[in-house]
């Protein structure tokens, strides 16, 4: 996907890196990329949260919250790198996110996901593939054999999957 730079900023790398992109004051987000249907934005937040906002908010089936899908990244640069290497038409979610921030835990499904089945395998809520140990919470995540068992819940970590 092609990144969308602010006018005159495509050849500069300022220290904060965010200055390369257009800041949208209404959404309080930087517009990183766009296609015919979506804006790909990083919100102003403590963490780098990449969100997909529909260009057609009145389309049936979309939530009224302002954005439809979201993922947390370790940094602004990591989110930008994920967008620049992502193919939203064939890949469900960008690579490298550390937590899914989607409303009601909805998982995005790419329109042509069958073209990239290895990439679109099931993932835990932290972004790891379900057949691999979770890179964020290997002991208590759903990829662990302990997930959801009474001992896990007794430790004060309620089942979420």
> How many domains does the structure of the chain reveal?
2
Q: Which tens digits make up the pLDDT trace of 102-146?
A: 655 567 889 999 999 999 888 877 788 877 778 887 777 765 544
- Domain span at 137: 130-161
161 pLDDT band (50/70/90 cuts)? very low
Q: What is d(CA 34, CA 88) in angstroms, rounded to the nearest whole number?
A: 11
Those residues with Cβ within 8 angstroms of residue 100's Cβ, 6 or more apart along the chain or in another chain: 70, 71, 72, 93, 107, 125, 126, 127
Does 46 score more than 80 pLDDT? no
7: in domain: no
| Pair 25, 82 in one domain | yes
34: in domain: yes
62 vs 47 pLDDT, higher one? 47
Work out the average pLDDT over 73-93.
91
**40 within 8 A of 50, measured Cβ to Cβ:** yes
Q: What is d(CA 160, CA 157) in angstroms, rounded to the nearest whole number?
A: 9
Does 152 score more than 50 pLDDT? no
């Amino acid at each position: 996907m092609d990144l969308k730079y602010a006018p005159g900023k495509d050849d500069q790398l300022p220290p904060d890196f965010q200055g390369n992109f257009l800041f949208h004051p209404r959404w309080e987000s930087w517009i990183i990329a766009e296609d015919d249907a979506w804006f790909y934005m990083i919100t102003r937040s403590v963490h780098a949260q990449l969100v997909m906002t529909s260009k057609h908010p009145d389309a049936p089936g979309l939530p009224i919250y302002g954005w439809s899908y979201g993922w947390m990244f370790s940094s602004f640069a990591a989110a930008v790198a994920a967008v620049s290497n992502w193919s939203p038409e064939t890949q469900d979610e960008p690579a490298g996110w550390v937590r899914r921030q989607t409303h009601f835990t909805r998982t995005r499904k790419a329109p042509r996901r069958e073209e990239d089945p290895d990439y679109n395998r099931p993932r835990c809520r932290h972004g790891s593939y379900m057949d691999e140990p979770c890179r964020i919470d290997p002991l208590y995540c759903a990829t662990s054999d302990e997930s959801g068992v009474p001992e896990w819940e007794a430790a004060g970590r309620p089942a979420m999957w």
